[in-house]
């Protein structure tokens, strides 16, 4: 079921409530975290609540293959929007890295992800698992779809500057998370959200696999 909220502020505070409860009840929580526009309000909320992140372990869902020191890298995004504004230990915040088996082992070794926050692309991608991705995929390099490159060009000076490849957690990796929250904001996401959550479970719409997760909540605002 899609929970429709009245405003972006309500979406951000509702999801921040879920993360706050998770961290307070389980200070050693393992979180999987997204970047992009949608979670910005949630990160602001979380920072303002001055939570104790010192035992929390985070795994980002994906990274562009690009110079990580540029402002558009997801490493820069996370530092700016969360890490540099909390007491999280740098050694406890992980981005997908090579060898991918090492990254997967790190997730497994910390007994898996407790809470995974996801956004959704207008083409139905989750993390950077683009249409056609197998439901069993693990962390790997992917080519970004034309749609994703176009959508994300708003963060770059020109579309030519958008990386064409990324490293992403796989759908298999994501589905092993104990709890998943999917967030989407804006009219342009409503159609794909409906198709993903109420349509056929198909590789053409990667997010549709989430219908098979037993602990998923979906939050939308227009
Ligand atoms: C980014 C990620 C992507 C985004 C999706 C929506 O880390 O995992 O799947 O969540 O592209 O992005 P926004 O929120 O910018 O619309």
At residue 183, the 3 state secondary structure works out as strand
Distance 120 CA to ligand 1 centre (A): 6
**198-209 mean pLDDT:** 98
**66-94 mean pLDDT:** 98
Beta-carbon contacts of 192 under 8 Å, excluding residues fewer than 6 positions away, are: 120, 121, 122, 123, 124, 205, 207
For 112-166, the three-class secondary structure string (H helix, E strand, C coil) is CCCEEEECCCCCCCECCECCCCCCCCCCEEEECCHHHHHHHHHHCCCHHHCCCEE
Q: Phi/psi at 91 (nearest 5 deg)?
A: -70, -15
Cα distance between residue 141 and residue 73, in whole Å: 16
**43-62 mean pLDDT:** 98
User: What H or E segment, with its residue span, contains residue 59?
Assistant: strand 57-60
Q: What local confidence, expressed as pLDDT, does residue 69 receive?
A: 97
Q: How confident is the model at residue 110 (pLDDT cuts 50, 70, 90)?
A: confident
Q: What local confidence, expressed as pLDDT, does residue 7 receive?
A: 98
User: Catalytic annotation on 215?
Assistant: no
**131-157 mean pLDDT:** 98
The finding on whether 41 has its CB within 6 A of some atom of ligand 1 is no
**117-136 mean pLDDT:** 98
Quick check: 66 pLDDT over 90?
A: yes
**Active-site residue (options: 45, 104, 130, 151):** 130
- CA 95 centroid distance within chain: 12
User: Residues 28-39: pLDDT tens digits?
Assistant: 999 999 999 999
**Active-site residue (options: 62, 104, 114, 151):** 62
Q: What local confidence, expressed as pLDDT, does residue 54 receive?
A: 97
Work out which ligand 1 atom sits closest to the CA atom of 74: 7
User: Catalytic annotation on 146?
Assistant: no
Q: What does DSSP say about strands 216-221 and 179-185: parallel, antiparallel, or unpaired?
A: parallel
pTM exceeds 0.95 for this model: yes
Q: What local confidence, expressed as pLDDT, does residue 151 receive?
A: 98
Distance 48 CA to ligand 1 centre (A): 22
Nearest alpha-carbon partner for 8 in 31, 33, 32, 37: 37
**108-112 mean pLDDT:** 90
Q: What does DSSP say about strands 30-33 and 115-118: parallel, antiparallel, or unpaired?
A: parallel
**46-57 mean pLDDT:** 98
Nearest alpha-carbon partner for 71 in 38, 98, 35: 35
The finding on whether 206 has its CB within 6 A of some atom of ligand 1 is no
User: Catalytic annotation on 125?
Assistant: yes
Nearest alpha-carbon partner for 92 in 44, 29, 172: 29
Distance 43 CA to ligand 1 centre (A): 14
Cα distance between residue 125 and residue 132, in whole Å: 10
Q: What local confidence, expressed as pLDDT, does residue 197 receive?
A: 98
**Active-site residue (options: 123, 129, 151, 152):** 123
Distance 21 CA to ligand 1 centre (A): 23
**Active-site residue (options: 114, 125, 151, 152):** 125
What's the number of CA atoms in the CB half-sphere (13 Å) around residue 82?
30
**181-197 mean pLDDT:** 98
Query: For residue 171, what are its two tokens?
Result: 């759908």
Tell me what the pLDDT averaged over the chain comes to: 98
Q: What local confidence, expressed as pLDDT, does residue 121 receive?
A: 98
Contact 198, 171 (CB under 8 A): no
Residue with structure tokens 């050694």? Answer: 91
Q: What is the DSSP string of 19-57?
A: HHHHHHH-TT-EEEE--SSTTHHHHHHHHHTT---TT-E
């Amino acid at each position: 079921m899609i929970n429709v909220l009245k405003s972006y502020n309500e979406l951000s505070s509702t999801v921040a409530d879920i993360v706050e409860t998770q961290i307070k009840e389980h200070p050693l929580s393992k979180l999987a975290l997204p970047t992009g526009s949608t979670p910005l309000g949630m990160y602001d909320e979380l920072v303002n609540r001055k939570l104790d992140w010192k035992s929390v372990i985070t795994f980002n869902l994906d990274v562009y293959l690009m110079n990580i020191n540029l402002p558009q890298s997801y490493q820069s995004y996370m530092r700016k929007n969360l890490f540099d504004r909390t007491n999280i230990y740098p050694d406890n915040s992980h981005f997908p890295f090579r060898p991918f088996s090492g990254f997967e082992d790190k997730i497994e070794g910390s007994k898996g992800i407790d809470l995974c926050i996801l956004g959704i692309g207008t083409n139905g991608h989750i993390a950077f698992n683009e249409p056609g991705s197998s439901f069993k995929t693990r962390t790997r390099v992917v080519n970004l779809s034309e749609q994703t490159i176009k959508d994300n060009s708003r963060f770059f000076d020109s579309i030519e500057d958008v990386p064409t490849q990324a490293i992403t957690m796989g759908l298999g990796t994501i589905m092993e998370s104990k709890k998943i929250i999917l967030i989407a904001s804006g009219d342009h996401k409503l159609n794909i959200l409906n198709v993903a959550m109420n349509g056929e479970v198909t590789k053409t719409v990667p997010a549709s696999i989430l219908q098979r997760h037993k602990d998923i909540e979906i939050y939308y605002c227009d």
